[in-house]
Amino acid sequence: MITLASSSPRRKALIQKIFKEIEVVHPNADESILEGESAREMVLRLSRIKADSIQRDNIVLAADTTVEIDGIILGKPENPDDAVRMLKMLSGKWHTVYTGVCIKYKEEKINFIESTDVKFYDLDDETIRAYVKTGLPLDKAGAYGVQEEMGMILVERIEGDFFNVVGLPISRIWWEMKKRRMFDI
């Protein structure tokens, strides 16, 4: 059994593809960015806080994902106008998606970062408005979901783990847990 410390339906769907017995618990974590904190530091810290907020005897898995462009951290947009602003920032440019992962099991804690570089097409205002109008970008870091019907047309190129962009680097999680014998195949 794995306890997923997350409120993300995307993370739940991904983890269920490889582990059938899961429990989902919403973590108790203040997700504010600290002054002077980098995107990498933030996702590592928040994944640890989320994992530590859940006390279980089984494996606890927590993650935090953010988008960074030109040193600016893009979390979830506050409203549709903020989503438009973020998508305009990303238009035609490369950015990095960082996911911090924390896996707790017994006395062991694994904490790592996965990063993926993503390039957007040049987006026109009509496409941005149509995507934001769906409401889909409002609960996602960087205001987009690469796996969604309109979100998938924004991305020109991905260098790295596709599932990291969705919100959970599932392959790396599998291998990190397997080499520590946290589960049986």
Active-site residues, by number, are 64
Distances (CA, A) of 125 to 24, 50, 91, 92, 132: 38, 37, 10, 13, 10
Residues 6+ apart with CB under 8 A from 10: 145, 147, 166, 167, 168
Q: Are 40 and 111 in contact, with CB atoms under 8 Å apart?
A: no
Contact 167, 8 (CB under 8 A): yes
To the nearest 10 degrees (0 to 180), the angle between helices 125-133 and 80-90 is 140
Q: What is the DSSP letter of 36?
A: T
